[in-house]
Structure 1
Amino acid sequence: MKNCFLFLYVLFLSNTVFPQTSEKQDSIKQIPPAKSFITTHEGVFNGKTLAYTATAKETYLTNDKGDSVASFWSVAYTLNNTKEVSKRPVTFVFNGGPGSASVWLHMGLFGPKLVMVDSEANKDDGAAPYLLKNNEYGLLDLTDFVFIDPVGTGYSRVIGKGKEKDYWGLKEDAKSVTAFIRKWITDNKRWMSPKYLAGESFGTTRAAAVAKELEGGGQNMALNGLILISQALDYAGSTSDHYNITSYITYLPGMAATAWYHKKAGAGKSLEDFVQEAREFTYNTYTPALYKGDLLSKAERDNIADKLAYFTGLDKAYILKSNLRVLVPRFQKRLLYDEGLTIGRLDGRFMGDESDNVADRPTLGDPASYRIGAAYTAALNHYYASMLNVEMDRPYLTSNSKIGQKWRWRTIPDGSYWEPTPVNTAPDLGEAMRRNTDLKVLVASGYYDLITPFFDAEYTFSRNGIVNDRVDVTYYEGGHMMYTHQPDLEKLSKDIRTFLTQN
């Protein structure tokens, strides 16, 4: 009887006509509602106690057919009780990678809470708990902030019919971030607000591309300013490669600064004086020698090697064996070779103890990254859960190596002729500045940054059509994330405050 009933039930199902749904409707049904978490807070900014709202949420972008295809995660801090809120400045913040979430600038510089790591780069962040403090150098009194995590980072992802390839590329990334900014501005009625972008590392590459992109698409949006932290606009100057002559030029003054920090060079001289000496040698002597190559006489080679040993603290014989060209990864291993220590790439102040002391490059990764990464990750997750009341069904990705592996650097459509060249969005910035005469730029560089060196910023901004009388260049005695160094955190915040308030 039981089997007979089952047979009849199956027969009933087979003859029953259910309502049919289109593929589009099925796809939409699979997309959960966008999540939003809104909390109110109070903090002290520039000596003033201010009430503000934190809005942590997903924003869905749609394609031309109206289908939701991507979810952008952002956290916005907006001041309460603001007169003429439509005219209050707003700053959009993102980090780099490509493949990095905004955690670093969020928890290290611009957010209302900061995670504290060793300012002097002597100690590892160790294991939890970590110190989370109020950001007494915050700038919320001057501008609202919107922290953006591009697709594939943080909680951001493709949804529905969205495809990663539509977001993981130089042009694709700029278009999607531009779309998010336009949507946020429209949804929050902020078209009359002064608008700024703040990016770090590849985030500066993105900022220049987005500045240009915002001026097109039939919705021209002019920016008031860009804050470029550890700029990386022209990759010829920030890619240490054996046959890339430009990189030997742009990295040498940073190597000299780092050698000075570790007391391997420049004894008795100030950092600024020693760096200036390195600048002059690089432009006037080293660059012509690099282009002369094997045409150098033995006497010329010996003279250049002597000077490189003087600036870098490396052995002259090693420099000669390197053909007067020392790659950055090798410099990381050789500078403190006698101590058996490897220095950081993001920040040359950091040191790591590796088991392989004779390798030609770091084997554990970057000490400047792994010695602070756990603290930033834990701090952000704790902050989201305990203070912003964020509850999500997936982990927050502070970084995503998969993005870098699949990233599309090609700048023109498939099928068109393309001869690869180093990435360079500096001309985009130059064009945007010439079309928008109110656009100003702040460039912040760390002396000990060995991945986007300070001299590369000088090299990049002295060409590419950039309007330099609207560019402020500032320097710090830290590295790529100079704000991990307490004096630089204070100085950088002050410099940005000045930048935001100057006419």
Structure 2
Amino acid sequence: MNARFLAALAAASTLALTVPTAAQDAPKPDAAAKPAPAAQVRTRDLAGTFGGQRIAYRATIADTILSDEAGKAEAVIVTTSYVKTPADPTRPVFFIYNGGPGSGSVWLQMGAFGPKRVAIPSDAKDDGAPPYPLVDNPESLLDVADLVFIDPPGTGFSHLTQGTDPKKYYGLRQDGRAVATVIRRWINDNGRWNSPKFLGGESYGTTRTAMVADELEGSTYNDVGLNGLILVSTILDFGAEDTTPGNEMAYVVTLPNMATTAFYHGKVEGTSAAAVAEEARRFAIGPFATALLKGQDLPAEERASVRKELSRLTGLSEEYLDQANLRVTDQRFYKELLRDRGLTVGRLDSRYTGRDYDNAGETPDNDPSFYGIDAGYTAAINSWARETLGYQTDREYQAIGREPGRNWDWSLDGSGRAAYLNVAPLIGQALRQNSQLRLFNAQGFYDFATPFFGAEYSLKRYGIPQDRITWKYYDAGHMMYIRDEDRAKLSADIRAFIRAR
């Protein structure tokens, strides 16, 4: 046994023997009676140039503690806010989060809208190794609105306290209620009840927006009016994009993405991604959808015609399409499109390419558009929050936390995941019940995670007023802001949307 270990053990034993009898006889505290966590608040006064204006602002990273009816702390929710100084109680405020459902707000904060951003390659190249430059972000929206980034339970530094049942926070309705509570608390604490309010997120964050809007103003007793919903890379109808065998809509809504991706990689001809997308939309909702719905009644001549046009639009061979019965899943497409080059394409952003262990598989080993950027973002948020803003914690920042997803309740009523999940009707209800509420929808042409045609399909159905929806498209993928030109365009588009209230 190690001599140093023995010496330490002897010292510890001696110390134990010298403890006074009174201390030994004292009652042990109840292990369950842990003190409530203290809310941490860190602020810094900073300045920057945003939208061409020099802005002084206060950056605040703070804990919001959510408790049960008995007052026991259940969750610690971390927000990072940027408020122009001096504070203006009538200035617009934009509440922002990401998706996942286990994703922290790092992506929109350090990539698009925060006062600082991480500089990674704009041309769909790997972000490499540290150091990753943290630079000023002139595209930040601080010139038109105060910004509040929210990390919902189980994301970022936010967490459930020991003993809290995950079922109380991890789910469509539960998460929406928690985020709405944090928003109400922030509004109250900062005296912003009469400020114009915008709400939005990315990916599952668009689903969260539907749920939070319903919590804030969806019933008689909810009291927070909203001016705008800002959706980035929208997913509202999960049933339409589910590739379970027999669901034909999944092939319909992803076809335009296959066409734009094939165009980007030189597999099909076209004048622009937008033009190719429009051509693919018409074919997808017309002859292609008709052919799929006919199933085994599809005549051979019609099948041949559809197969030929599908090959022209996707860059896949007619032989391959015939073997797949005209139904190519997104996973197969990633592998097949550039198989002749020994490359796979990305899911989040199909401009990215990667090399697998071998070239013979059905699906890719990984998503090159995620591992190409994740290290830079994680380094940036930790550096900014810990070293610049002074947030102190030994917890790891959960950029993509697994715990929420493993415990997520995907039902609207708490009964378990429904066979068909679509929260778009909640968006329609919010627009119908608030005549001044407007919707902004941003989609990337190369995003397979939340296909742009799927967003259009879900938001153009009956019950959703179309005259208050703004549609914008970008020549990038799920996180279109990683491309310099599209980050500037996204910022300008949202800035115009907020100003138009």
Question: Are the equivalent residues in 1 in contact too, given 2:270–2:276 (CA < 8 A)?
Answer: no
User: 1:331 aligns to what?
Assistant: 333
**Hey, what's the Cα distance between the residues in 1 that align with 2:406 and 2:486?**
33
Question: Are the equivalent residues in 1 in contact too, given 2:47–2:54 (CA < 8 A)?
Answer: yes
Query: SS state of the match for residue 469, structure 1?
Result: coil
**Hey, what's the Cα distance between the residues in 1 that align with 2:66 and 2:30?**
21
Kindly provide the amino acid, as one letter, of the partner of residue 470 in structure 1: R
Q: Does 1:149 align with 2:151?
A: yes
CA distance 1:288–1:44, shift in 2 (3 Å): same
Question: Are the equivalent residues in 1 in contact too, given 2:237–2:421 (CA < 8 A)?
Answer: yes
Query: SS state of the match for residue 218, structure 1?
Result: coil
User: 1:320 aligns to what?
Assistant: 322
Q: Does 1:354 align with 2:327?
A: no
**Hey, what's the Cα distance between the residues in 2 that align with 1:12 and 1:174?**
48
Q: Does 1:456 align with 2:454?
A: yes
User: 1:51 aligns to what?
Assistant: 56
Query: SS state of the match for residue 235, structure 1?
Result: coil
2:101 to 92, 95, 98: 98
User: 1:238 aligns to what?
Assistant: 241
**Hey, what's the Cα distance between the residues in 1 that align with 2:240 and 2:41?**
41
User: For residues 353-432 of structure 1, what are the structure 2 equivalents within 5 Å?
Assistant: 353-363=355-365, 365-414=366-415, 420-432=418-430
Residues 180-189 or 377-386, more deviating = 377-386
**Hey, what's the Cα distance between the residues in 2 that align with 1:343 and 1:8?**
66
User: For residues 282-297 of structure 1, what are the structure 2 equivalents within 5 Å?
Assistant: 282-297=284-299
Give the Å deviation of 1:256.
0.3
Is there any run of 5+ residues in structure 2 with no aligned partner, and where? 1-13
Question: Are the equivalent residues in 2 in contact too, given 1:343–1:351 (CA < 8 A)?
Answer: yes
Q: RMSD of the TM alignment (CA)?
A: 2.1
User: 1:212 aligns to what?
Assistant: 214
1:221 to 219, 224, 227: 224
Give the Å deviation of 1:199.
0.4
1:38 to 39, 43, 52: 43
CA distance 1:23–1:63, shift in 2 (3 Å): farther
Kindly provide the amino acid, as one letter, of the partner of residue 88 in structure 1: R
Q: Deviations over 1:101-122 (max 9, x none)?
A: 000000000100111221110x
> Structure 2 length normalisation: TM-score?
0.93
Question: Are the equivalent residues in 2 in contact too, given 1:242–1:327 (CA < 8 A)?
Answer: no
**Hey, what's the Cα distance between the residues in 1 that align with 2:487 and 2:307?**
37
Question: Are the equivalent residues in 1 in contact too, given 2:410–2:417 (CA < 8 A)?
Answer: no
**Hey, what's the Cα distance between the residues in 1 that align with 2:19 and 2:220?**
60
2:310 to 300, 308, 311: 308
Question: Are the equivalent residues in 2 in contact too, given 1:238–1:451 (CA < 8 A)?
Answer: no
Query: SS state of the match for residue 283, structure 1?
Result: helix
**Hey, what's the Cα distance between the residues in 1 that align with 2:343 and 2:417?**
41
Give the Å deviation of 1:379.
1.2
**Hey, what's the Cα distance between the residues in 2 that align with 1:225 and 1:12?**
61
Question: Are the equivalent residues in 1 in contact too, given 2:93–2:195 (CA < 8 A)?
Answer: yes
Question: Are the equivalent residues in 2 in contact too, given 1:68–1:160 (CA < 8 A)?
Answer: no
User: 2:3 aligns to what?
Assistant: none
**Hey, what's the Cα distance between the residues in 2 that align with 1:380 and 1:240?**
34
Q: Deviations over 1:455-500 (max 9, x none)?
A: 1111111115111100000100000000111111111111001100
1:447 to 445, 448, 451: 445
The alignment-based identity, stated in percent, is: 43
Question: Are the equivalent residues in 2 in contact too, given 1:142–1:500 (CA < 8 A)?
Answer: yes
Give the Å deviation of 1:270.
2.7
User: 1:124 aligns to what?
Assistant: 126
**Count of residue pairs the alignment pairs up:** 486
Q: Deviations over 1:106-140 (max 9, x none)?
A: 0000100111221110x211110112211111110
Question: Are the equivalent residues in 1 in contact too, given 2:215–2:222 (CA < 8 A)?
Answer: no
Kindly provide the amino acid, as one letter, of the partner of residue 250 in structure 1: V
Query: SS state of the match for residue 236, structure 1?
Result: coil
User: 1:177 aligns to what?
Assistant: 179
CA distance 1:475–1:6, shift in 2 (3 Å): closer
CA distance 1:284–1:40, shift in 2 (3 Å): same
Query: SS state of the match for residue 183, structure 1?
Result: helix
**Hey, what's the Cα distance between the residues in 1 that align with 2:185 and 2:417?**
35
Query: SS state of the match for residue 93, structure 1?
Result: strand
User: 2:191 aligns to what?
Assistant: 189
User: 1:73 aligns to what?
Assistant: 78
CA distance 1:419–1:275, shift in 2 (3 Å): closer
Give the Å deviation of 1:226.
0.7
Give the Å deviation of 1:11.
8.2
Is there any run of 5+ residues in structure 1 with no aligned partner, and where? none
**Hey, what's the Cα distance between the residues in 2 that align with 1:273 and 1:68?**
54
Query: SS state of the match for residue 89, structure 2?
Result: helix
**Hey, what's the Cα distance between the residues in 1 that align with 2:358 and 2:243?**
22
**Hey, what's the Cα distance between the residues in 1 that align with 2:192 and 2:347?**
39
